[in-house]
Structure 1
Amino acid sequence: MTTITCVEDFRQLYKKRVPKMFYDYAESGSYTESTFRRNEADFQNVSIRQRVGIDITNIDTRTTMAGASARIPVAFAPVGMLGIQNAAGEIKVAKAARDFGVPFILSTMSICSMEQVKEATGEPFWFQLYVVKDRDFVRDLIHRAKAIGCSGLVVTMDLSMLGQRHKDVKNQLSIRPNLKNMLNIATKPRWAMEMAKTPYKSFGNVIGHAKNVDDLSSLLTWAVEMVDPSLDWDDIEWIRKEWGGPIILKGIMDVEDARIAADMGIDTMVVSNHGGRQLDGAASSISLLPQIADAVGERVELLLDSGVRTGADIFRARALGASGVLLGRAMVYELGAMGQPGIEKLLEILEKELRTTMGLAGKTSMAWITKDDVF
């Protein structure tokens, strides 16, 4: 195997190991993909101040994110269908996160159910909530998450309308593959054998729980019809009451929206454009982070996702106002390439990159990284 030194190495291996339709599902953005590309590229526009003559013998990368301890300022983002990228994918990522010491967020559209992940890991995690038209189902999800001890509720705000990813349409992406996709799967025997053996083949949070969703066929119809364009701030208040604790709002990309959320008493929000998968033409998350931090950063804890690939990117986000970052695609690359060992390797790489960046920037504690450290 080629020596793995960075996230890009994993991406190339991931592309070789999973069926094309699932690789394209992860590695794509909406329409022209301008925002998808901008997310990663704009990190390079943020330069880091190099400092010398400072004792950097002891570097501490530990921090907290939304009240959770983290060995490095990283959490694994909620990504749907991880269990299709790699058999039992959600459980594998959750175990790696638990063992390393960073938060894991389970998607509503996961293959493994929240109960299965909790049974496999024995540890609390954060649950990500999609707000669909069926509010009884939404209420059931919230109370199931409470019942198993989920320690955080992440509410996704930017999916009240679906952005089109051209690659998914051209691949005819489906959980029931067509002939073209079946032929491609035949070229990925390792993936196919693992998927054949795993007991986790369903959408465990939805099938058997949502009204009239009893199998994969009914799920497909439900998933399209349940997208709710009426989601508004009143719904967030209702969710807070049902949950009974702090929530994390994901998908904030505007200062005005950030102020509305802060005025409501929201504790944590994620500056995120959904990885460039929704509004094509939106700004990158990292370019808007400083504005949002200036507006509400003293009242609300900010996290950031979309485009994070290196330890230096984590440093940049921290300097510009985020207490930590969420990893989406980087997580998928490693999971699809190598399963749980890939996730473990990813965390080791990011920790090393972050420590190196901090040392060469003259910082030995996360608390000492500020906007003066970048330009």
Structure 2
Amino acid sequence: MVFDYLDAGADDEITIRRNKDAYSQLELHYRILAGLSPPLDMSTRVMGRDVKIPFFVSPTAGSKMFHADGEVGVARAASAAGAMYSLSTMGTAAPAEVAPAVPAHHPKLFQLYVWKDRSLVRDMLAQARENGFHALALTVDLTWYGNRERDHRNGFTVPPAYTAKQTWEAMRRPAWTWDFLSSPEYAYAAVAFIRDAFDPSFSWDDAEWLCQEWNEGPVALKGVVRPSDALKAVDRGFDAVWVSNHGGRQLETAPAPIDVLPSIRDAMGGIVVDGGVQRGTDVLKGLAMGADAVAIGKPYLYGLCAGGEAGVRKAFDVLTDELERAMGLLGVGTVRELRARMAAGEELVRRRHPSPRDFPDRGALDRGYGGGVF
């Protein structure tokens, strides 16, 4: 039940596969003899704050269901890595529990969902403000809840329901079960998990109201895949947009965020991207295609499942090492240089040209796939 909640997507899981596959369609056209030596400078600026690495943990629900270290362990690991930390409204630790795990000066983002109850929204904002969260992200692609069929089959609940099936599955996974039984029972800390609390009628006017209510620091609109919506977000008071399809967990056959990122980059500045990022090379591609920072989900959650806080630290180490190696081989010594070279028209990263092997029917190339790039 817990693994499938982490691993699954909506409906037939086409979107979640496309998110990852889209990165494989991007080639890295490396430069040789660049004369670079480690360590490289991977620092950048995200949501108004300087960070040591250009990727950070995406806000994800219910971290304690994966390991008792939960959000607090993830926050410590992110802080140690020099990455921005972000906390979900649907976390199993409240802002007041997480804040002491992160130095006061360290960048922290609070993610908020669209709730019907305005007093609940104000309470969430107050909790974030009082506990030193400098930035806010409003998630707007979950007003209608996605159809996650693995959750239906498993009878997913938070905390777990003690059905015969769940009990049997827990017995088959003694490490997780021991962690669960030896720790306090978890639940969503900030709010009760009631799908009816989401507000499908939430509009642009409501989003603008939220920006005015926060008035504390940068605020991003999370769940954007259209340039027109990105421009509208800026007009309504948002400082950044977060290109995302909710990890392929909402609308089936939605576009992969990395595919739409360049068109949104052309429309505005201040961009975060997520979805399908599982390697340091993916982080590099996201930066090259126009993101100011890249958010990761599954990589750090897999680490959390495997080893708690230590597993998250390991995930950060692996991704940081992969990113530095990719930058070195690509011949760019800093994130700023990567962006500058791409902006100058140097195609260090570009979409793969199709080959005849991709189209056994040669006529497919002649009917519209030839002459260039996907």
Amino acid aligned to 2:136: L
Q: In the alignment, what sits opposite 2:145?
A: 162
Using the size of structure 2 for normalisation, the TM-score is 0.87
Q: Is the 8 A contact 1:88 1:200 kept in 2?
A: no
Q: What is the CA deviation profile of residues 213-250 of structure 1, one whole-angstrom value per residue up to 9, with x for unaligned ones?
A: xxxxxx35xx1211110111111211111111320111
Is 1:52 the equivalent of 2:38?
no
Matched, 1:304 2:287: no
The corresponding residue for 2:16 is 36
Offset of residue 100 of structure 1: 1.4
Distance between the aligned counterparts of 1:265 and 1:202, measured in 2? 33
Tell me, yes or no, if the aligned pair for 1:108 and 1:130 is still in contact at 8 Å.
yes
3-state SS of 2:5 partner: helix
Is 1:278 paired with 2:250? yes
- Which of 167, 189, 193 lines up with 1:182 in the alignment? 167
Residue 209 of structure 1 corresponds to none
**What are the within-5 Å matches in structure 2 for residues 252-271 of structure 1?**
252-271=224-243
Conserved 8 A contact 1:95-1:121: yes
> 1:343 is matched with which residue: 298, 306, 312?
312
Cα distance in 1 between the residues matched to 2:101 and 2:84: 16
**Corresponding residue number in structure 1 for 2:326:** 357
Q: 1:82-114 CA deviation, whole Å, 9 max, x = no partner?
A: 111111310100000111110111111111111
Aligned partners of 1:240 and 1:246 also within 8 Å: no
2:130 corresponds to 1:147 = yes
1:175-206: CA deviation from partner (whole Å, max 9, x where unpaired): 23221011111222222222223236232112
Per-residue deviation, residues 252-310 of structure 1 (Å, max 9, x unmatched): 111110111122342111100000000101110110101111122xxx21110000011
* The 10-residue stretch of structure 1 (153-162 or 230-239) with the greater mean CA deviation from structure 2: 230-239
Superposed displacement of residue 53, structure 1 = 2.3
Superposition pairs of residues 212-231 of structure 1, within 5 angstroms: 219-220=192-193, 223-231=194-202
Match of 1:213 in 2: none
CA contact (8 A) 2:57 2:84 kept: yes
Q: Does 1:64 align with 2:45?
A: yes
Secondary structure of 2:137 counterpart = strand
For residue 122 of structure 1, report the CA deviation from its aligned partner: 4.6
Q: Distance in 2 between matches of 1:203 and 1:126?
A: 18
Question: What SS does the corresponding residue of 1:205 show, helix, strand or coil?
Answer: coil
For the residue of structure 1 that corresponds to 2:18, the secondary structure is: helix
Quote the Cα distance in structure 2 between the aligned partners of 1:118 and 1:179: 38
Give the equivalent residue in structure 1 for 2:361.
none
1:236 to 185, 203, 207: 207
Give unmatched runs, 5+ long, in structure 2.
Answer: 351-374
Counterpart pick for 2:180 among 164, 185, 195: 195
Aligned to 1:86: 67
The SS at the match of 1:47 is strand
2:266 to 277, 289, 294: 294
Distance between the aligned counterparts of 2:148 and 2:68, measured in 1? Answer: 24
Residue of 97, 110, 130 corresponding to 1:127: 110
Q: Highest Rg: 1 or 2?
A: 2
Q: CA deviation at 1:363?
A: 0.3
Q: Which residue of 2 aligns with 1:22?
A: 2
**Aligned counterparts of 1:131 and 1:165: Cα–Cα separation in 2:** 20
Which residue in 2 is equivalent to 1:369?
338
Q: In the comparison of the two structures, how many residue pairs are matched?
A: 338
CA distance in 2, matches of 1:52, 1:122: 40
Measure, in 1, the Cα distance between the counterparts of 2:97 and 2:34.
48
Alignment check: 8 A CA contact 2:69 2:309 kept: no
Report the Cα distance in structure 1 between the residues aligned to 2:180 and 2:51, rounded to whole angstroms: 32
What is the distance in 2 between the residues matched to 1:127 and 1:97?
Answer: 14
Shift of 1:369: 0.9
Shift of 1:338: 1.1
Contact 2:300 2:316 in 1 (8 A): no
Once the two structures are aligned, what percentage of the paired residues are identical?
35
Rounded to whole Å, the distance in 2 between the matches of 1:276 and 1:234 is: 27
Segments of 5+ residues of structure 1 without an aligned counterpart are 1-20, 207-218
Amino acid at match of 1:195: F
The one-letter amino acid of 1:167's match is R
Q: SS at the partner of 2:263? A: helix
Aligned to 1:247: 219
Q: Given the two structures, how large is their TM-score scaled by the length of structure 1?
A: 0.87
Two-structure CA RMSD over aligned residues (Å): 1.4
Assess if the C-alpha contact under 8 Å between 1:271 and 1:303 holds in 2. Answer: yes
Which stretch of structure 1 is more off in the superposition, 274-283 or 115-124?
A: 115-124
